[in-house]
């Protein structure tokens, strides 16, 4: 966060704590339950918000050096992002052109594993029959070559996808015609000051929830639930005196940590870049970047096979050099976050889904949940424009 942003955010939150207030929307909003249960809506969402909208897949720091790559599941599409020997960034369908097997391992994409799908390689060797690709996607090795007369390796490079770095994040298009350059221009300024160009994933886990993907995003967007759903954990530590800002379709929702107001005792020029707050930055359509003084988390949320299901990839990163101590601390942060998110918020979202699936027909969003309202409006607007 840039210093002027730090100061204005700090002042707003100190003011809210003193007045016992928070940023409010203009009016409560009603959301029809069908947005969580209608299969036709889900199909349209997948097409418009996931296939035609640029998708964040990681931090720029994960592919900073020649040979770096990451292999991730993006709404069910296996994606490989590489930086070749000349420093050029590429993205491909992570599917061998022989018979489709991923050419790079997607460790984080198997449920229950905690790899990151992120590493450094000069060659990608398919595990099925050994075809070899270089980081620029060219087919450079084909075992038993004489058995493929007339098959020109030049035609069998990995299938390219659009990719760019925007606002310090890696953005891909799941279709060749998706415009990714400058995709996150609206948050370029808001994200300045976060060293995403040095941030790397340390641990990532995938979860499947029995809740619509929008409910899975919504759990991150308001502090109204903290004294109730989190009464046994962060209640009393994270305070519902938050601020909400919008940047085009994207949002920042930040809530202070206990003692935030002590900042006022220090000269503003010494306020730290990482304020004592949980800063939840959400990027279209459903990537949530959670920053706190302890933790750097990325949540990538996708629809599941049916409206009442979603998939979430929870990744913990760091911009410190990856020595043993940092890796251990980052893993520890991941486990701490899980104690709240996985143990309390996920079951909360699943319980709400059961209510809507059972016939509750409307969700009401209060004025103190304005980031939730913003996102439901934004998703609806995107679908309506299609
Ligand atoms: S599927 Fe990759 S070599 Fe056969
Ligand atoms: Fe929560």
CB 126 less than 6 A from any atom of ligand 1: yes
pLDDT at residue 110 in the model: 46
Mean pLDDT value across residues 278-297? 97
Domain 55-172 coded CATH 3.30.360.10:
no
Q: How far, CA to CA in Å, does 4 sit from each of 7, 245, 333, 366?
A: 5, 15, 28, 30
CATH number of this structure's domain 3-53+185-384 = 3.90.380.10
Tokens at 124, concatenated: 């990608």
CB 123 less than 6 A from any atom of ligand 1: no
pLDDT at residue 109 in the model: 46
221-263 pLDDT tens trace: 999 999 999 999 999 999 999 999 999 999 999 999 999 999 9
CB 148 less than 6 A from any atom of ligand 1: no
CB 128 less than 6 A from any atom of ligand 1: yes
301-344 pLDDT tens trace: 999 999 999 999 999 999 999 899 999 999 999 999 999 999 99
pLDDT at residue 105 in the model: 80
CB 131 less than 6 A from any atom of ligand 1: yes
Q: Give the chain's mean pLDDT.
A: 95
CA-CA distance, 295 to 70, in Å (whole number)? 21
The Å distance, Cα 214 to ligand 2 centre, comes to 14
Q: Which of 104, 128, 140, 158 to mutate to test the pocket of ligand 1 (most atoms within 8 A of CB)?
A: 128
With cut-offs at 50, 70 and 90, classify the pLDDT of residue 193.
confident
**SS3 string of the chain?**
CCHHHHHHHHHHHHHHHHHCCCCCCCCCEEEECHHHHCHHHHHHHHHHHHHCCCEEEEEHHHHCCCCEEEEEEECCEEEEEEECCCCCEEEEECCCCCCCCCCCCCHHHCCCCCCCCEEECCCEECCCCCCEECCCCCEEECCCHHHCCCCCHHHCCCCEECEEEECCEEEECCCCCCCCCCCCHHHHHHHCCCCCCCCEEEEEEEEEECCCHHHHHHCCCCCCCHHHHCCCCCECCECCCCEEEEECCEEEEEEEECCHHHHHHCCHHHCCCCCCEEEEEEECCCEEEEECCCCEEEEEEEECCCCCCEEEEEEEEECCCCCHHHHHHHHHHHHHHHHHHHHHHHHHHHHHHHHHHCCCCEEEECHHHHHHHHHHHHHHHHHHCC
Ligand 2 is an ion; residues with CB less than 5 A from it: 345
With cut-offs at 50, 70 and 90, classify the pLDDT of residue 184.
very high
63-107 pLDDT tens trace: 999 999 999 999 999 999 999 999 999 999 999 999 999 999 876
114-145 pLDDT tens trace: 566 667 778 999 999 999 999 999 999 999 99
145-180 pLDDT tens trace: 999 999 999 999 999 999 999 999 999 999 999 999
Q: Which of 126, 143, 145 to mutate to test the pocket of ligand 1 (most atoms within 8 A of CB)?
A: 126
pLDDT at residue 100 in the model: 97
List the domain boundaries for the chain.
3-53+185-384, 55-172
Whether the full predicted model's pTM is greater than 0.85, yes or no, is: yes
pLDDT at residue 22 in the model: 98
CB 96 less than 6 A from any atom of ligand 1: yes
The rounded percent of the chain whose pLDDT value lies above 70 is: 97
Q: Which of 80, 92, 94, 96 to mutate to test the pocket of ligand 1 (most atoms within 8 A of CB)?
A: 96
pLDDT at residue 129 in the model: 96
Residue with CA at minimum distance from ligand 1 atom 4: 129
Higher pLDDT, 1 or 204: 204
pLDDT at residue 266 in the model: 96
CB 101 less than 6 A from any atom of ligand 1: yes
The Å distance, Cα 30 to ligand 2 centre, comes to 21
pLDDT at residue 188 in the model: 96
> Lowest-confidence range among 18-32, 112-126, 152-166, 202-216?
112-126
Q: Which of 92, 93, 98 to mutate to test the pocket of ligand 1 (most atoms within 8 A of CB)?
A: 98
Give the nearest ligand 1 atom to 96 CA. Answer: 2
């Amino acid at each position: 966060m840039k210093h002027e942003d730090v100061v204005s955010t700090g002042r707003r939150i100190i003011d809210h704590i003193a007045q016992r207030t928070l940023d409010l929307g203009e009016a409560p909003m009603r959301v029809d339950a069908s947005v969580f249960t209608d299969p036709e809506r889900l199909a349209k969402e997948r097409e418009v918000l996931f296939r035609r909208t640029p998708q964040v897949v990681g931090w720029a720091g994960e592919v900073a050096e020649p040979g770096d790559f990451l292999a991730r599941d993006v709404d069910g599409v296996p994606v490989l992002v590489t930086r070749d020997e000349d420093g050029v960034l590429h993205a491909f369908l992570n599917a061998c052109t022989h018979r489709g097997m991923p050419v790079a391992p997607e460790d984080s994409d198997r449920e229950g594993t905690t790899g990151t799908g992120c590493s450094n390689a000069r060659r990608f060797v398919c595990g099925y029959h050994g075809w070899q690709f270089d980081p620029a996607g060219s087919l450079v090795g084909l075992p038993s070559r004489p058995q493929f007369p007339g098959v020109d390796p030049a035609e069998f490079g990995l299938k390219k996808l659009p990719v760019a770095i925007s606002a310090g994040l890696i953005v891909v298009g799941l279709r060749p015609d998706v415009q990714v350059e400058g995709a996150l221009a609206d948050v370029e300024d808001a994200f300045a000051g976060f060293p995403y160009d040095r941030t790397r994933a340390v641990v990532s886990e995938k979860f499947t929830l029995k809740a619509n993907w929008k409910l899975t995003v919504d759990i991150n967007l308001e502090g109204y639930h903290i004294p109730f759903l989190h009464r046994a954990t962060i209640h009393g530590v994270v305070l519902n005196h938050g601020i909400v800002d919008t940047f085009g379709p994207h949002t920042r929702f930040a809530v202070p940590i206990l003692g935030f107001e002590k900042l006022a005792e220090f000269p503003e020029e010494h306020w730290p870049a990482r304020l004592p707050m949980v800063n939840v930055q959400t990027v279209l359509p459903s990537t949530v970047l959670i920053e706190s003084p302890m933790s750097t988390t990325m949540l990538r949320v996708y629809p599941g096979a049916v409206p009442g299901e979603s998939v979430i990839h929870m990744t913990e990163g760091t911009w410190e050099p990856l020595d043993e101590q940092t890796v251990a601390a980052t893993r520890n942060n991941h486990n701490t976050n899980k104690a709240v998110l996985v143990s309390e918020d996920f079951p909360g979202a699943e319980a709400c889904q059961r209510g809507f699936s059972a016939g509750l027909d409307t969700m009401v969003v209060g004025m103190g949940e304005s980031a939730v309202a913003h996102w439901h409006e934004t998703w609806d607007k995107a679908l309506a424009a299609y």
